Structure 1
Amino acid sequence: IERIDEFRRLAVAFNEMTDQLEASYTQLEQRVAERTRGLQAAAAVGRATTSMLDPDQLLRRVVNLARERFDLYYVGLFLLESDSGRTFAVLRAGTGEAGRQMMAQGHRLEVGGDSMIGQCTSMNEARVALDVGEEAVRFDNPLLPQTRSELALPLVARGRVIGAMTVQSVKESAFDEEYIAVLQTMADQVAVAINNAHLFAEARAALEEMAATQRRYLGQAWAEYTQTAEEIAYETMRPGDAPLGDAILPEIQQVVERRSTVALQNASHTLAPLHSALISPIALRGEIIGALGVHADKEDRQWSDDDVAIIEAVVERMALAAENIRLLEDTQRRAVRERLTSEVTARMRETLDVDTVLQTAIREIGEVLDIARIKVRMGTGKPPMPE
């Protein structure tokens, strides 16, 4: 009997052990599945951010996708900004109505202050509150009353903290170590994407500034060129047609304002017997330097897409050719100026006598610039300084 009881106890113990192993195996499978879903969610957020270069659009996409993929109550993203010698984590994107209201209010938390975001950005480490009611250092947001657990993750790019993310859940103890590791991986990817977007925006702004500077230079250069050029308007017509003169100017002004090719019917009453016109701006790197107008004497002339394409192609090549000619003439003028300056300077250096130097300078300048009278006065009229 005792032997039977012993076998019975062994069987019960074995069954209990089997049940425990099955429970452990099931629990392990669940944890693996949860970890897999978390990694898949983090990867999805990472993929979505790598192709976005607009900073504001990127931030909105990150918080909404993170909340959706990780089934969270709220996700907010902060970036660091300095103000009067202090550094704040400023909310730049938040999910839901709470996020919209906080954005409108300019919600921010001081770095190093009494909040999880403040401590997270100050210490460069994640902060977790498994039960928000027991967390001493935490900002209790009245717009998020259902939060039961919260995780603050630093955003680090190139070894520097640039902001932080807050992820909040309606469940207590929602974030274990594995979950935190997955979310931090996502945050690291987001930080790199944000940094890249900011670098791209800075580079684009620099290029736009360079382009604007170049356009201003071109505009100024062509304004000076047209003031000194012998001819700035050219016209060709069939034999017997009257010259257009300045009659085309109103249409050119319209093209310059619109910055695009314009097809006009009954272009101007002053153009009789001409009835329609196709006018295209001559643009060089975005700066309008002139216009080309083609006029027809047929009332029913309709300008086709091919007509427009041909005119625009000609105008594009015309702009480049005109700019090359202007640059060549400018280079030639500079060369002449440098040569004349060198000649005058060389003649002045032939003597060490001040009077002779001044006389030589006056004579050479007068010949070069065709000036009838030149006066040179040495000294300022001020009394000498005492020794």
Structure 2
Amino acid sequence: MYNTLEARVAIRTRDIEATYDISRVVVSQRDLSTLLDRAVNLIVERFPIIYHAQIFLLDSERAYAHLRASTGEAGRQLLARGHRLAVGSVSVIGQVTEQGRVVIARDTTTSDIHRHNEFLPDTRAELAIPLRIGDEVIGALDVQSKQREAFDDDLVSVLQTMADQIALAIQNARLYQEWTTQLEAVERNNRAATRAVWQDYMRGLRASSTQSVAGTPATDASALQNEALSTGRIAIGQTDERGLTPIAVPVILRGEILGAVVWEIPQRLLDDNRLLLAQELANRLAISLDNARLFEESQRATERERIVNMIAAKVTAQTDIDEILQTAVREVGQALHAPQVSIRLRQAVEKSEVIQPRLESAHAGKDSRNNGNGRHA
């Protein structure tokens, strides 16, 4: 009796240690597929009485439990055919996902709920434990043994603890994937916004590109620059007869490539540290360029506000309609450097008439124009 008790304690200790090791591994995983595969394989590896393990997850409609990880050749075949079981079906998985409690088929030859699987003909006992997040069942851990009555209360308790850890790891992996998806979306939006503002800025300069050169490069680096622009990585050219090696470094701002910097570096000095330094300098250049663009834009916005306020003050100072119109066309013409400005006001039209937007505003009987020299016609 002593030996039997001692053996049970040893088995129990081994199972607890296995549970701890498996839980430690799965909670560190961020990729859901890897997490599930590691979990089922470690269970079979660490629990000799279990010859097959698998994990099912419920779909969004909670209608089916879909097999997501399964061990051995049988598991590969089941996964390949998209194995699934309906929630509430006459099967261990169907019952555990519907009831949300442990379901055991202690002897599959006499069990009413065990569903025979042609890929697992040696199964004599099956245990399914719900995977829960709070009160919500998200799937099930299913383990099978070649021995009848293989799952005693102690082993069920150990596997229940493990299932809880797996469920928590699944939730963490899903939250991590959601977070990375949102982060990627933010990065895409940032790149698009950066690209748009710089395209607008370059259009404002009336140029598709701008360039600054220091020194007298001996070779045409356009091909090298294009490579850096297309790949977003440092491009290294061939060393010339002077012992200089050209490198093109992308200028990247918030994931968007703004341009490329080309340096000629002595071959004897070219190493990984020098390349890292070049990329860091290009990154700082990108920030400086964007700061300069923002400063210019703020200056232009300030100037626009000044002009609008000045014109508004002159217009509101007038009380006569003709004077208001004449002041408006004069000041607007000067501000926009327009040779001719015309403002028209006209009487209200029938409600059924549709007026298309125009550059002119009209009113019959009132017409004020500026012909560019401050005189009105």
- Matched residue SS, 2:147: coil
Rate the CA distance shift 1:374–1:262 in 2: closer, same or farther, 3 A. same
When structure 1 is superposed on structure 2, of 130-139 and 57-66 the one drifting more is 130-139
Distance between the aligned counterparts of 1:222 and 1:65, measured in 2? 52
Work out the number of aligned pairs and report it.
349
Rate the CA distance shift 1:322–1:274 in 2: closer, same or farther, 3 A. farther
Alignment match, 1:232? 210
Larger Cα-atom Rg? 1
1:255: how far off? 1.7
* Structure 1 gap ranges (5+): 1-22
Is the aligned partner of 1:219 residue 2:219? no
1:92: how far off? 0.6
Alignment match, 1:10? none
After the TM superposition, which residues 144-183 of structure 1 pair with which residues of structure 2 at under 5 Å, given as runs? Answer: 144-183=120-159
Alignment match, 1:74? 52
Q: Match for 2:221: what amino acid? A: I
Is the aligned partner of 1:290 residue 2:259? yes
Name which of 289, 292, 300 aligns with 1:333: 300
After the TM superposition, which residues 22-37 of structure 1 pair with which residues of structure 2 at under 5 Å, given as runs? Answer: 23=1, 25-37=2-14
CA contact under 8 A between 2:125 and 2:149: conserved in structure 1?
Answer: yes
- Matched residue SS, 1:138: coil
Rate the CA distance shift 1:352–1:278 in 2: closer, same or farther, 3 A. same
Rate the CA distance shift 1:202–1:86 in 2: closer, same or farther, 3 A. closer
- Matched residue SS, 1:49: helix
- Matched residue SS, 1:40: helix
Distance between the aligned counterparts of 1:45 and 1:69, measured in 2? 9
Q: Match for 1:122: what amino acid? A: E
Alignment match, 1:11? none
Deviations 1:293-349 (A, max 9, x none): 1247xxx95661154344333222212211111122122223333444445556566
Is the aligned partner of 1:110 residue 2:79? no
Is the aligned partner of 1:255 residue 2:228? yes
When structure 1 is superposed on structure 2, of 366-375 and 153-162 the one drifting more is 366-375
Distance between the aligned counterparts of 2:63 and 2:328, measured in 1? 63
Name which of 21, 41, 63 aligns with 2:18: 41
Rate the CA distance shift 1:376–1:91 in 2: closer, same or farther, 3 A. farther
CA contact under 8 A between 2:26 and 2:39: conserved in structure 1?
Answer: yes
Rate the CA distance shift 1:44–1:310 in 2: closer, same or farther, 3 A. closer
Distance between the aligned counterparts of 2:204 and 2:297, measured in 1? 11
1:123: how far off? 1.4
Distance between the aligned counterparts of 2:93 and 2:341, measured in 1? 75
Alignment match, 1:93? 69
Alignment match, 1:50? 27
1:288: how far off? 1.2
CA contact under 8 A between 1:278 and 1:303: conserved in structure 2?
Answer: no
1:357: how far off? 6.5
Q: Match for 1:33: what amino acid? A: A
Greater fraction helix = 1
Alignment match, 2:247? 278
Distance between the aligned counterparts of 1:162 and 1:346, measured in 2? 67
Q: Match for 2:85: what amino acid? A: L
Is the aligned partner of 1:264 residue 2:237? yes
- Amino-acid identity (%): 36
**TM-score, normalised to structure 2's length?**
0.82
Rate the CA distance shift 1:64–1:275 in 2: closer, same or farther, 3 A. closer
* Structure 2 gap ranges (5+): 354-377
Distance between the aligned counterparts of 1:99 and 1:180, measured in 2? 22
Is the aligned partner of 1:203 residue 2:203? no
Distance between the aligned counterparts of 1:160 and 1:353, measured in 2? 74
CA contact under 8 A between 1:261 and 1:280: conserved in structure 2?
Answer: yes
**TM-score, normalised to structure 1's length?**
0.80
1:374: how far off? 4.1
Alignment match, 1:65? 42
Name which of 257, 272, 282 aligns with 1:315: 282
Is the aligned partner of 1:136 residue 2:101? no
Distance between the aligned counterparts of 1:349 and 1:119, measured in 2? 79
Deviations 1:95-125 (A, max 9, x none): 0011101111111111222221121111111
Distance between the aligned counterparts of 2:274 and 2:335, measured in 1? 50
